[in-house]
Structure 1
């Protein structure tokens, strides 16, 4: 006889579910990956009629989850059946991919089986597992459902008559009676028993309900989510396993009613009936059988799915058509802007700063590496100072979380996957002031600790060459990126090319703004060269981006901090440009009176030109710090710069691929060894007895 084929469950996720998951992740779960209970539901199978052929086409065997699935008091709609599940959300995509799927699946299968044997309850027969990773920055949700179902050995076979319409086995009156009892039952009946008198009862009542009923008059029924005429739905698998585990003596042959009706029919019934038999010698019914049930992806392979909600954020857009009169008026306003844009700067020279050199600032070409929160604020402040050439470089696209924190973006910039940040920011600068020479470049900066596959070497070389060209074309380089290692390559290139480098980095309520000391100069009070971003480190830059949680992927700061740091960075540049020594301006001693900021005190017309400013927003305090260059620095030491000038890209490639290369090149590895040797050579004085702490 033919082996019974079952229609597997397919997940059906309501869009509201992702909204609820977002709230749950941000407000409740945060960094927790604790498993939580979840609920879903399914109803009888449905089909549609093909208009051309007139044939019935079965729809999916769906189990649905929605925004209410996380509620403890989850209730299903009339005619639906509840299903319990286990939900687990991962903090990173790496954790999601690396999760032990087999162990998770088996854990749920054991839970179902143990529940059957311990309670004889059918509540977990439709149990499911859902694992997710929510990329809230891009509104992408990775998910994978599993519907554990036990494998029968030997397999179930369908009798020679096969599956037939229920009306061929039951009278219309009996089917109508069954329907009314299902409707009037105080709770949903996913599985139920049917006697020859058309009375029904929950499957848990098997022993008592069928006590005086012959096997030929016993029918096992279930709400069937499948509409396939020959393939009953997935719930039947675990129902049969349940019966074999608890009632093996009377269930080697089972009469099955696949209930697929939602209302009483006067002429036809959709429900199906069949007689199933074990295809061989039954195995030990008390031993848990193996289980299957991971959902396949749209390509028909075992793998997760992705829900991309970004397009749903795109409202209907209308083209804005300007009349000729409006165009003329716009050109007129642009001319007015050209005259008025520098008014504030020019007013400074009337009484306050007659010697302020505005041309020196306006002709300075600035390259902003990073077009995020820092980049947007830096660009706006540079415009305020009259800088006319601003170039931005970034590899990201505008996301929905950006516009409220990054003032060069609007909601419309996030749609259709988001515009490239650098180009979008440059276009917005031109919209703010058409006279600006602003451009944006999509550029990914190669980084130490991020190996370059052989197939990507050519692309990486092109990116390095583009970065070198951009730095060469500009006077000032702002390092405004999110990670430590992304600042290394431009630090090396800019130091070798003698460019001004302004670095800005954020903590939660702290910031660092610093200028890098130029090569071959003595600009400290004691004659030493000023250090760069890496001079205080004894650890080479490496991968800090992989396997990060949401709060680590985002720069989590107090909202006002970025604008404070950005403005400070631009003001530091303005002071430096106004200093008579420019790039080689000496840093004031840390203990210098802040009120002594005039040119005759070592400052510029705008005040002091510090090396480093460390701000502490919690105390509303700024500290001036002076740091010397380090001869083993991985960013600006002569060893690194000369190697770069000699080997070029080959040196860079070594730094990208080999985490030990920079420590070896600069001698940091020997420093580690010297430190270990020093510790071992110390004659520690150990006293007898217990120490008094």
Structure 2
């Protein structure tokens, strides 16, 4: 809290208006940009420079009234963050610490105050009200030590006497009805839209029982022509429940000077627009009834205040030591973290960012899906990403796979896994990325042609087991169905969360595998009819076919816990085999609409993040399409089992299906044999026909029983 001397001396402070001063908030990016400007542009030039900051009126209760400067402060004509008001200022960057200390601060304040006063007298402040909220920033940058000295000033012109409150301030719901509050919010949004912005710093308002109108300050005469009551609004960054923020001070002086002879009492709306956990509210806005003092004489500029106090509460500058974080790589890390923290500060306070950032992700496949998943993971701040792929970059890849460029295709093409790691490091040096150029043994692809081949397959299996053990989440992003079998088995055995994404031409499926919570051999599967809850997978591509059946089946099961959810293979009644043999080129490749991989890749990461935010993690109950209108289980929303998308209809459904007790990948019998026999069991799967797994899991018997039942039904039909 702060006010000028005349206000503080009031005999009845509770009836005198006091203002919360701005608190400067300078991000590391601002100092980095100032360093570059000093070295490349300003050099020894100490002339004043125009810069821009912004303030926000939706901060939670208890935060200071912040004016923020970031890396974009030097782009005066650049965009302002959404729902923030720009504040323009003057930078005085000195060449020496002595010059910083001896600069005439009073002269700087008086100069800026006079410009504000001249704008008030001339009417320029009505046309451009942002002049009422200007600032000064005096700096010295010690670029050898990366010590930055600075002092902010927020000029405010004062009255010769205090500003009297006619009554205690009120929150909106004490003065307005719910209908009026809703109309007020809509009127402000309409005013912003008409001005081509998302925040208007000052405005006029009048209201009736069922309507609210707003207009810019410049429309005063026409807007209040027949009005008996005058209400002005200010976009208020203050979070205190009894006091307005600093931007109101110069507005009141403008009102007193322009209309003081006609205006005795004015109603002020301190407009505060918070969004917490996705819900918007302006009900904490304040209403003040103010008696304006006599306007100061126009001949002399009123006295002004505004230099910011230091952290000790005394009048003096501040210093920040950025010697440890001015390295560009460290700056990039802080910037990535800041973007995520803003989500938590403003929208999702309960978001556990550390859990996301510290998650180790294994991406099996570095193609179209793998590239898009990796980029989205980095957007969430994930630092540990590992790629596995045995392909090389071809000329058709760069336009669809955003981690590769044309040069990567030359000379036969770079390894995808290794090139992806290089590109991630260029995008964000703080990432801990690794790449493994290796094959994943698959059912239907024999490995016993020679001892060398068998030994290599065993080494690949051991490496894959090691990688899955070392990571928290496994993404299955390969081209073929059978390549997903081995990592599904290993991850199920090791109780690792698996996120699967697969594409068709204009359809996709993204799903999390059920997370086993009991020892192998103890079935956690549901009833035998769980196999019919979703469709079977297509043999010509990696996306399940018959998605419409899945959509219909989504309502068959509800409230399925994570340990009873099915995996990618639980929908099938045949074992995986060689899906590329005797196939044409279009059947061997996944031919998809170009935007499909970006959508599916992003949703795969978002499912992972939602699972991590749930208190039960991978064991969370699956959300279905029927839950879209219910209270979400996490701060980010639903935690589905599957997302099946139909790009031709621009539609998604959220089916949930039970684990299949005869699944060829995650059923108890398969996990038991894998854990007891290891590679010997796996080699049988690789070298045998698909009937081996079908015999083992009971699918063969199921087929025979189904055929017998069909023959019996036909016999009945013939007898009829």
Give the number of the structure whose alpha-carbon radius of gyration is greater: 1
TM-score, normalised via structure 2 length: 0.48
TM-score, normalised via structure 1 length: 0.50
